[in-house]
Structure 1
Amino acid sequence: MLTKFSSHSIFYILIVWILGTCYGFVLLSSAAGHTGDVKLFIPGEELVYNLHSTVLMNEKDGDSKNVGFFTSAEVLVQVIYSQENQKILKLKINNPKLHIKSRKAPSPDGFVYHTSELEKFRNQPFYIHWNNGKIEKFLVNRDESITMVNVKKGIASLFQFQILDGTYDETDASGTCTVEYTSPNQQKISKTKKNCISSDLPYFRNPEVTLDTFVNSIRNVEYELNSDHKYFKSIKAQEKHIMAVSSANYIGNQIFSDQILEFVENTQDKIAIVSGTVEGILKNLISSDDLKQESLKIEKENIPTDDIKSFPAAVNELRDQLISDNLGSAGPAKAFIKLVTIARVAKKEEIKKALNGKKNVEILSQLLDVLGSTPTLASYEAVMSKLDFTKEDQIDLCERYLWALSLGANPNPDIAEKLFLKYKKSNDIPVKLNETLLLTLGSMSYKMNLRSPPLGEKVTQKLEKLILEKLRNSKSEESFPYLRALKNLKSPTTIPDLLKKIKEGTSKEGVLAWKALKVFDRKNWNGDVLKAARKAFLQLDRKYDSSSRTIASEILLESKPNDDTLREIIFHIATNDTSYEVRQYALQKIRMLSENDLELQRRVLAIIKPDRKINNYSILNPRGLSTAIKRYFIKNQSGNGSLVSLQEINNAVVKQGIVNIVWEKGTITNELFSLGLFTSGLTSFLSSDNEEIDEEPEQASAGMELTVLGTQFRPFVFFNGQGELMGHVWTGTASEKTTAYQALIMLQDHLEYLRLGSGFIVELDLKGAVSFDLGGKVEISIWGRTAESLVEKRAGIFLTGSMKLYNSFVRVQVEFTATLEPQLKLQSDIDFSSHMRFCMRVSQVDVIVKHNVYKIERIPGSKHKLRIAKYRKSNFPGFTYALNRKNNEMCSAIQQ
């Protein structure tokens, strides 16, 4: 049977549907008093609540014993003024008590009462001006401690809520947040805080995603009204914050906090009501009750700690750990972090005292590493009083300081400005140091531009303008420093000048310009860059240096080429191009990329398989020793770590050899360390190969290029000229292992302060450092026509991260440390007695990873101290990387 609806019944159904969908809005509006049927905070009313506020800290997985505390109190809420939607509430905290974790405490909570300063604080009533759910003003006694005021701000913030569902910007004890309100049913209101900002508190982070710190925060508040909507039965706020290492997100800490107000009773007409205007009443309260108005944001306390030493005293204590012989192990990295932390708050005179100490002469370079990672004006001025950039005998020390500045994740714009002025007046500065100064400015400018909003925009703009002016007015070797500076600067607006150098400059200028373009973000490889790369690789307009061609092939292949471009590259490999090492390099690069990109692998096979001219042994295994390989040393959810080896051979001699340590996180790739070896002019007496020579004959030379955390250093030249080379050969000066580069480097550098809604501030501090030592040796036998080389990278990594809540009545912290000492060896054997044979071995030694966790809870002025420690150790066996079949064959031939 069909039901027939009248027009009146249809109208009734529509009304019911509309009211049902808007119920959440009606609820909040009614609760705020807009409808006149239901009202919160009735004039003359006193509401009594029990407060329970908990803070717990633990390691990230949260499965072990935690440390923390909770506070309890009675909260009185008195409505002393009400006019339409505006209220003045008088609040009082009665009988506040501290409860702490204790091994003697009963299960399951594990808390016991303990006397503390919380009970002794001055504790007067405080007031809030409540307007349509928003707290317009917060008044508190002038003489109360910051700790007590913060607790009151946390309580006051619970009474701030909006009258309608939606998203708003609010400021409360948590800071300035984006807040979302929803009404799940008639008696409940849900409040979620996101993106809480505390711009007034110190904040440092590493802008590189792979070296950043992961911080995840969840903040929720649940309001429950009584059945007739006249008061809140309960207000429950919960929040959880997790801090973890971005590159190893299983290592980290967490903090949980809740704040619960439970209704006890209310009374009517017990409280005297004041009359007048809101402004007048608040003004009278401030003058008569000695009150002050403050923001709801809680304030950071300066709590002195017992273990803070002066910088000179800390250096004296840690001096033995910093000596050069120890670099490459974890001990110096740990000492380095301690000193950086102290130096960042040290005064100029303290730092000068340490720099001038006679006992510190042997560790002066390491102290400059520390101060370069301490970008304060006090540290800069202290260093400048010690170093003289015009003296030849201080070049090494000056460079050590500049390198440290260039590697810092948070450059100081004021220091950058001072260095820029020094560079502009650099007539008396030695050439090598002058280039290092320029490269440092380029790196600092790049990192300042990564900040949002960018820092030091004026100095970065002036620097780019100056570099481009000098580049345009220089030729050949004069332009090399400026091209390397542009590589560190990584500014997209410099691309046209780089392309012009490729087109019009010398072959070496072109190589340096391509190297600069290679490190740019891929999104900056526009049509002009790809067009130039195609011309260079295929030599469409002129003859190019082999290094330019190999870099151009990398850019083409890494730019996600379309099928036509990919086909063109593959078909060129099958041509009779006499630079067969370039073809070999491109083929190896395609293979390397295809190993980890199944879609690229499918596309490559689709091009090769149907074409018999390409799909044969002769083409797919052309002559040449050039290699491009990628091998993973770690794969996990946090990211992938890989070793990338790129060897460009020219006339059977390594022309450009690069070994990169790369970390990948999602689609983001970060080159942590790059070691590049380069040679020229060696083919005349090391090889009789008939490959086409792509350059005019030049004098024998060799050197090393280091790029650390994306910052290129000036090249280190081993020898320049055949005379210097033969001098090394005859005297054997290269046969002993020699240190080429040592440094203490800050990897992770994160400092953040979280405002908890419960009225406490938590310090999140995560620092990671590496103690690095790079050394090697080369042995050449003219008679046996053989050569052996060893390059050894030793690193000691120390990582520490802590969450600390320090105030006047309780101190809680959880801290982790992680240490490891990886070591990488690159060995190569060359036999050029008859047919050129080249064997390379890359190996990694056994690694032990130590991961320790410490949890501490203390009450100032008492003997109570709870300490929980956990120690873990993991062993990772060493291994030798499998390179490729051709390398294996030549290694076997050499060993015979």
Structure 2
Amino acid sequence: MLPSISSYSFLYTLFAWLLGFCYGFVLLSSAAGHNAGVRLFDVGSAVSYKLHSTLLFDENEESTKDVGFYIDADVVIEAVWENDEQRLLKIELKSPRLHIKSRKAPTPDGFIPHWSKLEELTNKPFLMVWKNGKIEKILLAKTEEVSMVNLKKGFASLLQIQLSEGTVDETDASGKCTATYTSQSSTKIVKTKSNCTSDDFYRVNNPHEFLRVNRNSFITVEYEADSSKTYLNSIVARENHVMYLPIKEDIACRVKSEQILSYVSSEKIRILEASTVEEAIESISKTEGLIFTQETLLTERESLDEETHSFTKQVDSLRGYLDAKDLGSLKPAKAFIKLVTTARRASKDDISKALSSKKNKGILLQLYDILGYAQTKDSHEAVMKSIHLDNENQIEVSERYLWATSFSSQPNPDIAENLLKQYKKLTNIPPKIQETLVLTLGSMAYKLGKLPDKKLHVKIIRDIEETILNNLDYAKGENKFVFFRALKNLHSPSTITVLLNYVTNGTQKEGVLAWKAIKAFGPDLWDERIQSAAVKAFFQLDRKYDSSSRTLAADILIESQPNDRLLEDILNFLIGTDPAYEVKQYANRKIGMLADEDNTIRARVQKIIRKNPKLNNYHGLAPRGLSLALTRRFMSNPYSNGSLVTVQEMKSGIAKRGTVDVVLDKHGFSKELFSLGIFSGGLHSFIASEETENTDEDEAATAGMELTVLETQIRPFVFFNGQGELMGHVWSGTASEMTPAFQVLLMLQDHLEHLRLGSGFIAELNVKGATSFDLSGKIEISLWNRNAQSLVQKSAGIATTGSISVDSKFVKSQAEFSTSIETKLDLQTDIDFYSNVHLCMRLTQPDALFRHNIFKVEKIPGSQHKLRISKYKKYAVPGTTYSINKKNNEMCSAIFS
């Protein structure tokens, strides 16, 4: 039975609806594609276009003066051969010319044409094998220079068009990208590129969450065909790349690129007679007299005649900036950035010459800081030629080199392997160097594990971990301590079981060091095993623990977002019978500190307190001890915050364990940048104590300082060990003068990236941030007057430089920023133990000035043209005296009244 007329109408309507629905999802395609009416690059046709390619550089702000250039050219695309869907396109880029930003231009942001070496570059036709929108081959004249080749690859990449809507992987002048195609109308398609990578380029980036350099990129290409769908009427490619510092996102540079291809005319041409594409290529090669080479669409870096600096000569020119007396100021930090860059390119002989020069004797320690960050084969071999780790007379220079090596965010696995061999091989390494060496190995292994290619370094990381664990197992007594610190630097989850064993079964000192290592792992690794051990230690459920183990366990429990039951147990502990009132006070202040920062925790704490009358009164939570935990903000901006976190565990009126941490915070995520820790023991005989419990093992009088820099703990500085040494310092006054305890040059940001731009240029993103750091202190003790005064002063000069630049044979443009600040932090402590113990702490930060400068520069090689735009900003950072707490204020009043 035949369908009725109404059935035909229904089928026709349904077909028309489906066709209309699907039409928006059909992209420009060949005759064999979804829409047979579309014919791009029909064989025997030549289409002429106008190309306009622009590149602009500026800071990441609107309405600013930028620098940059554009290139225009006439382009002819000839479809000279085809076989099925495969077509051979012959393309000519005619008369490319450079136009530059200039003050002579008609408008402030206008361009004028300018001579450049672009006009002198060899420029021949090139070929492209194109099939269904994909570029299968690109063939270029063998004699052309990289600048011209890249320009052509940038243009050729515009012609890569996917034939169906969706997401695909593509390789072109932007690198290896994810391309998403979306149909906007029957004649318009938009391609969005994302996740573009260039794995063939060397890349450096500090993985630290706040010290890395971020980049936001946005790339689109709009294709529009003419109404007859026989040629592309226009292609517009736009991309925007912003490089910025996460810690302060307005410190940034931006490069913008735009390619516009506009239709001019078309005509018919002769078709090549050839049976294969290879024959067609050979025919053109003979006709044009050219030798073609096949390449990918990936652009290549140019070998330019860069200005090179001898490391020795640059040290000579900057020697005056590296004096030890200037550490803590800006001068050494700025010199450090320049010298690290030069050292990474220097030869072994060049570096050795600088190290052996008598003129550099006074700055030798700073040179080892620099070379520790260079991390090249030549720099390490030059250092190992100059110093010997088993030489007792080279402890200071050896430690400075090892410190810098351990602080570096870009450890060289070959250097780590060499240092491990020396650690195993050398039998007479002085104890201080040996400890620093094993701490360095732990830190290098941890940071190798954070690099993008960490899978390549599994063996050396495993070897270092096994070495540390084996030595921990074989060492006796205090010789074990160094390996606990090394495990802290290693941050390896596989060592947690070993550390927990020492928490439970080790000596009290071993337990404290094990807890410090576990705490350094961070909340992400504090699993149920650690939580359970922390509960036992804090509440002393299975044995008596050192008070520092208990307070470290409290840190872990409280910072792990405890459930209501555990939080209630901790609060009830504060009103319990445990005589260790400083542990109670510590836990009390720790909860109070977090409640001040987190409204959710504050509400939970208040709910528990309100329902318990014993807690909900002044007597229950009245402060009795001197221990404290507090946070004070020192930096606040829309992008990140900085806090000083001070924790003091007191015993007998003296800080048994204390830290002042510099912590950065962004969107609820926090990270410690620097930690100054102090420790003491065996001093209760000097100051009367009301504490009734003494859980500490008998120990000699000792005190010292621990530093953790960029997640790396260094060897502790011991001020005295034993009562005899202590009394010697007291009577001689050797510590009463301001004395440097730790001086170093540190690299903060360390970023180098080469970014392929779709237009064919390659941008270099380079950021280096450094600090010149000095930690000095003094202490005066009077046994006659029974008082003591101390001052610990941190001074830092911090400098950062960053740029986005394009450097080619015919034009050089860049946007650059620099920032700088000199800052100090003073911690003064006064103790009066004549009758009752009074402790007064004052934490102050003097006024500072933050500078943020922006420079935009454009040059044309071979000409006198140079355009420079500068902007200078200054921001006053007012000084601050940080409030400690009410108890401290009362004791300060008692001392100074």
Q: Normalised by the shorter chain, which TM-score bucket?
A: over 0.9
State the distance in 1 between where 2:638 and 2:855 align: 25
Q: Is 1:243–1:253's contact at 8 Å kept on the other side of the alignment? A: yes
CA deviation after TM superposition for structure 1 residue 327, in Å? 0.5
**Contact residue 740 and residue 776 of structure 2 kept, 8 A:** yes
For these two proteins, the number of residue pairs brought into alignment is: 890
1:219 aligns with 2:227: no
User: 1:145 aligns to what?
Assistant: 145
Q: How far apart are 1:669 and its partner, in Å?
A: 2.0
State the one-letter code of the partner of 1:464.
Answer: E
CA contact (8 A) 1:32 1:40 kept: no
Deviation at 1:804, TM superposition (A): 1.1
Superposed counterparts of 1:275-294, under 5 Å: 275-282=274-281, 289-294=290-295
CA drift at 1:12: 4.3
Tell me the residue number matched to 2:843.
842
How far the C-alpha of 1:699 sits from its partner, in A, is 1.0
CA distance in 1, matches of 2:343, 2:270: 56
CA distance in structure 1 between the partners assigned to 2:175 and 2:31 by the alignment: 26
Q: What is residue 788 of structure 2 aligned with on the other side?
A: 787
Aligned counterparts, 1:264-663, within 5 A: 264-268=264-268, 270-282=269-281, 289-306=290-307, 308-454=308-454, 455-663=456-664
Q: Is the 8 A contact 1:205 1:213 kept in 2?
A: yes
Q: CA deviation at 1:219?
A: 0.7
3-state SS of paired residue (1:450) = coil
Matched AA of 2:440: T
Query: 1:311-331: CA deviations, max 9, x gaps?
Result: 111000000010000110011
Task: Give identity over the alignment, percent.
Answer: 52
Q: 1:475 to 1:20 in 2, by over 3 A?
A: farther
**Is the CA contact (8 Å cut-off) linking 1:33 and 1:40 kept in structure 2?**
no
Question: Which residue pairs with 1:747 in the alignment?
Answer: 748
CA distance in structure 2 between the partners assigned to 1:32 and 1:864 by the alignment: 53
Q: Which amino acid counterpart does residue 397 of structure 2 have in structure 1?
A: L
Which region of structure 1 is more displaced relative to structure 2, 634-643 or 543-552? 634-643
Contact 1:647–1:657 under 8 Å retained in 2: yes
Deviation of 1:101 after TM superposition, in Å, equals 0.7
Q: Deviations over 1:475-503 (max 9, x none)?
A: 43121111111100001111000001101
Partner of 1:677: 678
Contact 1:62 1:254 in 2 (8 A): no
Q: Is contact 1:648–1:656 with CA below 8 Å preserved after alignment?
A: yes
Contact kept? 1:330, 1:821, Cα under 8 Å: yes
SS in 2 for 1:690: coil
Within a 5 Å distance, the mapping from 1:674-713 to structure 2 comes to 674-713=675-714
Paired AA for residue 380 in structure 2: Y
State the distance in 1 between where 2:689 and 2:253 align. 61
What amino acid sits opposite 1:275 in the alignment? A
Residue 80 of structure 1 corresponds to which residue in structure 2?
A: 80
1:136/1:847 CA distance change after superposition, 3 Å: same
Separation in 2, partners of 1:836, 1:7: 102
The answer for the alignment partner of 1:760 in structure 2 is 761
SS of 2:143's equivalent in the other structure is coil
- Name 1:230's counterpart in structure 2: 230
Aligned to 1:895: 896
Q: Which moved more, 1:11-20 or 1:545-554?
A: 11-20
**Alignment-mate amino acid for residue 238 of structure 2:** Q
Aligned partners of 2:822 and 2:849 also within 8 Å: yes
C-alpha spacing 1:580/1:91, structure 2 compared with 1 (3 Å): same
State the shift of 1:641 in Å.
0.4
CA–CA distance in structure 2, aligned partners of residues 770 and 441 of structure 1: 23
Deviation at 1:11, TM superposition (A): 4.2
Between the aligned partners of 1:252 and 1:658, the Cα distance in structure 2 is 33
**CA distance in structure 1 between the partners assigned to 2:841 and 2:35 by the alignment:** 82
SS in 2 for 1:819: strand
Map of 1:845-884 to 2, 5 A cutoff? Answer: 845-884=846-885
Could you tell me which residue of structure 1 aligns to residue 154 of structure 2?
154
Shift of 1:634: 1.1
Q: 1:32 Cα deviation (Å)? A: 7.1
Q: 1:596 to 1:360 in 2, by over 3 A?
A: same
Alignment-mate amino acid for residue 695 of structure 1: D
- Residues 131/67 of structure 1: CA separation in 2 closer, same or farther (3 Å cut): same
Please name the residue that 2:820 is paired with.
819
Q: What is the identity, as a one-letter code, of the residue corresponding to 1:675?
A: L
Q: Is the CA contact (8 Å cut-off) linking 1:78 and 1:271 kept in structure 2? A: no
Structure 2 partner of 1:103: 103
Distance (whole Å) between structure 2 residues aligned to residue 643 and residue 240 of structure 1: 37
| Amino acid of the structure 2 residue aligned with 1:183 | S
Q: So what's the TM-score if we normalise by structure 1?
A: 0.98
Deviations 1:291-315 (A, max 9, x none): 1011101100122234x32111100
CA distance in structure 2 between the partners assigned to 1:164 and 1:895 by the alignment? 81
Give the distance between the partners of 2:542 and 2:680, measured in 1 at CA. Answer: 27
RMSD of equivalent CA atoms: 1.4
Quick one: distance in 1 between partners of 2:616 and 2:294?
80
Residue 699 of structure 1 contacts residue 722 of structure 1 at CA under 8 Å; is this kept in 2?
yes
Partner of 2:303, secondary structure, is coil
Q: C-alpha offsets along residues 329-353 of structure 1, whole Å, 9 cap, x if unaligned?
A: 0111000000011111111111001
Q: Which moved more, 1:685-694 or 1:840-849?
A: 685-694
Q: Contact 1:651–1:693 at 8 Å: present in 2 too?
A: no
Q: Which whole-Å CA distance do the structure 2 matches of 1:404 and 1:286 have between them?
A: 57
CA–CA separation in structure 2 for the residues paired with 1:10 and 1:890: 93
Q: CA deviation at 1:195?
A: 0.7
How many angstroms apart in 2 are the aligned matches of 1:839 and 1:8? 96
Tell me the CA shift for residue 168 of structure 1.
0.6
Amino acid at match of 1:685: F
Q: What's the offset of the Cα at 1:282?
A: 3.8
What is the CA–CA distance in structure 1 between the aligned matches of 2:502 and 2:313, rounded to whole Å? Answer: 52
SS in 2 for 1:208: coil
- Which residues of structure 1 form unaligned runs of 5+? none
Specify whether residues 222 and 257 from structure 1 end up closer, same or farther in structure 2 by C-alpha distance, changes over 3 A only: same
- In 2, distance between residues paired with 1:384 and 1:603? 57
Residues 242 and 254 in structure 1, CA contact (< 8 A), matched pair in contact too: yes
Please give the alpha-carbon distance, in whole angstroms, between the structure 2 residues aligned to 1:83 and 1:34: 19
Deviations 1:850-887 (A, max 9, x none): 11111111111111111111111111110100111111
SS in structure 2 opposite 1:373?
A: helix
Q: Which amino acid aligns with 1:87?
A: R
CA shift at 1:13, angstroms?
4.5
Question: What does residue 180 of structure 2 align with?
Answer: 180
Residue by residue over 1:124-148, the C-alpha shift from the partner in whole angstroms, topping out at 9 and shown as x without a partner, is 0001111111101110001101000
SS of alignment partner, residue 670 of structure 2: strand
**Could you say which residue in structure 1 is the equivalent of 2:203?**
203
Q: Distance in 1 between matches of 2:588 and 2:844?
A: 25
User: Cα distance, 1:109 vs. partner?
Assistant: 4.2
Distance 1:360 1:417, change over 3 A: same
* Cα distance in 2 between the residues matched to 1:689 and 1:644: 28
Instruction: Name the SS for the 1:26 alignment partner.
Output: coil
What code does the residue aligned with 1:197 have? Answer: T
Contact 2:217–2:241 (CA<8 Å) still a contact in 1? yes
What's the secondary structure of 2:572's corresponding residue? helix
Q: Which runs of 5+ in 2 are unaligned?
A: none
Question: Does structure 1 residue 22 correspond to structure 2 residue 22?
Answer: yes
Q: Which of 587-596 and 474-483 deviates more?
A: 474-483
SS in 1 for 2:737: coil
Q: Is the 8 A contact 1:653 1:687 kept in 2?
A: no
Give the Cα separation in 2 of the matches to 1:570 and 1:361: 58
Letter of the structure 1 residue corresponding to residue 124 of structure 2: Q
